[in-house]
Amino acid sequence: MITSSQNHRVKLVRGLLGRAKERREAGAFVAEGVRLVEEAARANWSMKFVLYDESLSERGMQTVKLLTSLGVETEQVTAQVMDSLSDTETAQGILAVLAFSELPYSPAADFILIPDQVRDPGNLGTLLRSADAAGASLVLIPPGTTDPFSPKVVRAGMGAHFRLPLRSMTWDEIRQFRTTPASGRILLADMQGASCWETDLRQPLTLIIGGEAEGASPQARALASQSICIPMAGGSESLNAAVAGSVLMFEIMRQRKGK
């Protein structure tokens, strides 16, 4: 049992929770909570090790036993150590250190999301969760958007990271990538755009969702071929980035399913 906060694994987890640089250098990130660890296990995601404490539920202990039987290193820590590591208000009793892995995507990917300058981790995680649920093929993360593997983004994504291909790219790389035959139109969510209800979203496309504070970057606007909006009643001027992106992505799904 790990009892010291100076243990090398505890120090590694603390670094991974706190800094994107540490995550990049270690090639790893943290998933906390029974559901996220279960999702990672279900996806056969590579795990470096798992830490848990005595407060873990029976369901969580079954997951620990399963992972142990599969050869994953699991180790118990004291409740105090787990509390010191938890990124949530109340410790979840289990966390896993996972290896970075890039899920493959089809060259014919026809529904791509670009969350541009989305700096709030909760908003980015929600966008990833919605993209996964709405059938997006790929998410491109441009400069200025928060690290998609930060603990709050992973938590808000609720397992989307284990199913949805993500790629971090510069704007030059994104422009080059978007020259593929399946690229289609590049649509920017903007209040001055055409109504999403009256826009044909059945063809291959890339959807850009601008950030909460400043909206889309000049690079994103230069890349977009068309703007679309969500018509709203009353005096509302805009929606939260995660809400707007989710509405638009589910409208894409609705049109493509012909309903």
d(C-alpha 96, C-alpha 36), whole Å: 9
Query: pLDDT tens for residues 148-163?
Result: 999 999 999 999 999 9
Q: Give me the pLDDT at residue 241, please.
A: 94
pLDDT interval class at 183 (50, 70, 90) = low
Classified as helix, coil or strand, 46 is coil
> What is the predicted pLDDT for the residue at 107?
82
Q: Which of 99, 126, 149 is the last residue of a domain?
A: 99
Q: Is 253 exposed, middle or buried (0-12, 13-18, 19+ CB in 10 A)?
A: middle
Q: Which residues pair with 180 in a beta bridge?
A: none
Q: Name the least confident of 12-21, 62-71, 107-116, 172-181.
A: 172-181
More confident residue, 64 or 212: 64
Whole-number Å distance between alpha carbons of 99 and 29 = 7
- For residue 165, what pLDDT band results from cuts at 50, 70 and 90? very high
pLDDT grade, residue 213 (50/70/90)?
confident
Phi-psi domain of 200 (left: phi exceeds 0; alpha: psi -120 through 50; beta: other): beta
Q: Going by DSSP bridges, is the β-strand pair 166-168/138-141 parallel, antiparallel, or unpaired?
A: parallel
pLDDT at residue 238, rounded to an integer: 73
What pLDDT sits at residue 235? 64
Amino acid of residue 162: F
CA distance 116 to 135: 19
Tell me what the mean pLDDT of segment 195-218 comes to.
93
Per-residue pLDDT, 215: 87
Is 76 a domain residue? yes
Among 49, 79, 99, give the residue marking a domain's end: 99
Locate the DSSP E strands across 125-222. Answer: 138-141, 166-168, 185-195, 205-210
Radius of gyration of the chain (CA): 20
Q: What are the backbone dihedrals phi and psi of residue 217, each rounded to the nearest 5 degrees, phi first?
A: -75, 165
Say which CATH number the domain at 78 has: 3.30.1330.30
Residue 83, pLDDT > 60, answer: yes
Q: Are residues 123 and 70 in the same domain?
A: no
The answer to the question of residue 66 being in a domain is yes
Element (H, E) at 248: helix 241-256
Domain count, the chain: 2
Which of 99, 120, 140 marks a domain boundary?
A: 99
What per-residue confidence (pLDDT) applies to 236? Answer: 67
Do 93 and 115 share a domain, yes or no? no
| Domain assignment of residue 243, given as a range | 111-256
Cα–Cα dist 100/166, whole Å: 11
Q: How far apart are CA 108 and CA 173, in angstroms?
A: 17
CB proximity list for 80: less than 8 A, separation 6 or greater: none
CATH number of the structural domain spanning residue 151? 3.40.1280.10
Average pLDDT over residues 5-34: 95
Do 246 and 127 touch, CB atoms closer than 8 A? Answer: yes
How confident is the model over 81-107, as a mean pLDDT?
90
What average pLDDT does the structure give for the chain? 93
- Token pair in block for residue 138: 């790929």
Give the model confidence (pLDDT) of 225-248 as tens digits.
Answer: 999 999 988 766 678 999 999 999
DSSP notation for 215-229 = BS-HHHHHH-SEEEE
Whether 138 and 244 share a structural domain: yes
Are residues 139 and 75 located together in one domain of the fold?
Answer: no
Phi-psi category of residue 59: left, alpha or beta, with phi > 0 → left and psi -120 to 50 → alpha: alpha
Min mean pLDDT across 17-26, 61-70, 229-238 is at: 229-238
Same domain, 78 and 142: no
Pairing of strands 74-76, 47-52: parallel
Interatomic CA distance for residues 200 and 157, integer angstroms: 28
